[in-house]
Structure 1
């Protein structure tokens, strides 16, 4: 699997189609969300894609959208894996790729994420801690979490490059 992160203007038409399709599969069909998925934020987001070969093209099997939040915070949004890739380490690789993309583009920035409550331990495994919740949103219990990357390590890395 290949991991890429791109701004909206860098996405090909095929990549955008595949992103919107997999988001519809997961959020609308699987989870039954009645919210409009195409929310106008894709244009200002950074898109992290896990792609693998499929027939004569590449298929998006994992995805996360990165958005600027309040202050210097970056938010991980629309985090998903295709059903066929669950339980095989793809979600873990996606989270690592999202964190790496954030640290490359916004070194030292705090990172926020809102996830269904059952994903709390998954996120804690990547250094996230509870910020708020749990709270009920659209019939699902969510929790707000935050990760503060070690600034000293980020500065040291830049100085030794």
Structure 2
């Protein structure tokens, strides 16, 4: 048992729920709720320095395309979560995969991106929360033109092994 009385399995379950809840908020167009999940976190995006939750929300508002239904018309599938809880039971890390599907009028259902999230967490007063997320691990890129208002640089050739 951890110092909070929570076992590693329960901690891993709660952390996995955070991963899934994030995807649900983004797919639902609930950008404020998704950003709030990172209130105590640093977010690595490839910018000169890490973003906080408010800067992340501003970035999403600037680059994500939301449709009249209020959503980005995406489905973020979070798979293969590997959660490692530290011996003190108060911190953890997780590696997971994401696959983003999208379908809009004139753009049939397809995979538009796939990659990995590298996350760190802490438990405060019995509740797990993000402390860090690294968004820089996109492995495969499809047609993002109906998802983002900006062009994403193609993946470097050396990433293809």
The structure showing larger relative contact order (alpha-carbon pairs under 8 Å, at least 6 residues apart) is: 2
TM-score (normalised: structure 1): 0.34
Greater share of residues in helix:
1
